[in-house]
């Protein structure tokens, strides 16, 4: 009889320990946090969980902080933070470096993205209906969006500061319906293949380097409409770009040869134009190389069409180059 009791106790203890071990790993299936208690309990229930692969939604009227998620380092799925009326920042997500799809919407008190300082890359980014967000400080280490970025309906947004290190957006950057936005200077190094900038009623200055470059390469890759005067259309923006010398002027004062080219491409300017730098881009707008020299070695490039932007003290011009 004693042996049977001991056996039962041992079996129960084993099952209990196994249940604890299983509970300490990451949950399976879609994860919904709908109360502050659920957020707080996650760190206790899953102390060893660092990498999530399931859809995660944070949505609850009682949620005030995300500290219970402090051990998470990556989410290889969608993280949706939506309809949390008391959430003011994203502290607690500080260790996350990668999120596949990040969607933050309808959080009317969210005024800071602090907590995303470790985030380096996402595949899709969406910010909508965040009435107290004035900029993107907190995303300063984000450098890559593989596909699309949506920045829409952010009524207090006045600049894109915080996105200064974001240099790669794979397909589309969409900036729309941001009524207080006055500056997009922070994204001047970004290189999406398609821009949508529309219905930002106070945005009048869109002639930043990346947009001027895209206009020179492919004006059809931009949709610019119904912003403030100066940024109401692609022709309006083009007029503000730093193309202060016409193509005809450049043909007399600046030459690029040989074209087609097999190895060394030469740039020559007249005495009244001071050469500053040259940049080579692919037909998709991807940066290939940048140089301060007037002789550019293109020998290692694959055959095809490229675009050369020459920057001078009088302005810049983009020329099509054929590599043989």
Which residue in 32, 80, 23, 73 sits closest to 52, CA to CA? 73
Q: Dump the DSSP string for 256-315.
A: EESSSBSSEEEEEE-TT--EEEEEEE-TT--EEEEESSSEEE-TTSPSEEEEEEEEETTE
Paired tokens of 270 = 């007249």
Mean pLDDT of the chain: 88
CB atoms within 10 A of CB 257: 10
Domain 247-323 has CATH 2.60.40: yes
Q: Are 212 and 243 in contact (CB under 8 A)?
A: yes
Give per-residue pLDDT as tens, 270-294: 877 788 899 999 877 789 999 999 9
| Apex 212 CA angle, 210 and 215, nearest 5 | 110
Q: What is the mean pLDDT of residues 164-192?
A: 92
pLDDT for 11 = 46
- CA dihedral (288, 289, 294, 299) in degrees, to 10, reads -60
- CA dihedral (293, 298, 299, 303) in degrees, to 10, reads -170
* From 51-65, 242-256, 280-294, the region with the lowest mean pLDDT: 242-256
pLDDT for 3 = 32
The pLDDT > 90 percentage for the chain reads: 67
Enumerate the domain spans of the chain: 247-323
Q: What is the mean pLDDT of residues 69-82?
A: 98
Measured distance CA(271)–CA(280) in Å, rounded: 24
Measured distance CA(199)–CA(310) in Å, rounded: 32
Q: What is the mean pLDDT of residues 229-256?
A: 74
Paired tokens of 210 = 């990346």
* From 14-18, 67-71, 91-95, 105-109, the region with the lowest mean pLDDT: 14-18
pLDDT for 21 = 44
Q: What is the mean pLDDT of residues 54-81?
A: 98
pTM over 0.95: no
């Amino acid at each position: 009889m004693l042996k049977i009791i001991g056996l039962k106790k041992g079996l129960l203890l084993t099952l209990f320990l196994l249940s604890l071990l299983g509970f300490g790993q990451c949950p399976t299936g879609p994860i919904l946090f709908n109360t502050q208690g659920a957020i707080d309990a996650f760190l206790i229930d899953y102390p060893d969980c660092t990498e999530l692969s399931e859809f995660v939604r944070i949505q609850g009227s009682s949620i005030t902080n995300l500290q219970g998620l402090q051990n998470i380092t990556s989410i290889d799925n969608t993280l949706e933070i939506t309809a949390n009326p008391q959430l003011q920042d994203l502290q607690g997500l500080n260790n996350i470096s990668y999120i596949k799809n990040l969607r933050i919407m309808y959080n009317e008190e969210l005024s800071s993205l602090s907590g995303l300082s470790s985030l380096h890359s996402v595949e899709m980014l969406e910010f909508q209906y965040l009435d107290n967000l004035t900029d993107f400080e907190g995303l300063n280490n984000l450098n890559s969006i593989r596909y699309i970025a949506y920045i829409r309906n952010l009524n207090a947004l006045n600049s894109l500061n915080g996105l200064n290190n974001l240099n790669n957006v794979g397909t589309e950057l969409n900036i729309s319906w941001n009524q207080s936005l006055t500056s997009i200077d922070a994204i001047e190094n970004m290189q999406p293949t398609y821009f949508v900038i529309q219905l930002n009623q106070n945005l009048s200055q869109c002639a930043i380097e990346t947009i001027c470059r895209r206009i020179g390469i492919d004006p059809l890759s931009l949709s610019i409409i119904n912003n403030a005067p100066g940024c109401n259309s692609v022709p309006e923006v083009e007029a503000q770009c730093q193309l202060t010398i016409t193509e005809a002027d450049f043909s007399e004062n600046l030459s690029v040869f040989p074209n087609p080219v097999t190895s060394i491409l030469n740039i020559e300017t007249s005495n009244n134009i001071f050469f500053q730098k040259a940049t080579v881009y692919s037909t998709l707008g991807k940066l290939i190389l940048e140089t301060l020299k007037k002789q550019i070695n293109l020998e290692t490039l694959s055959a095809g069409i490229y675009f050369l932007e020459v920057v001078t003290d009088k302005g810049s011009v983009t020329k099509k180059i054929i590599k043989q």
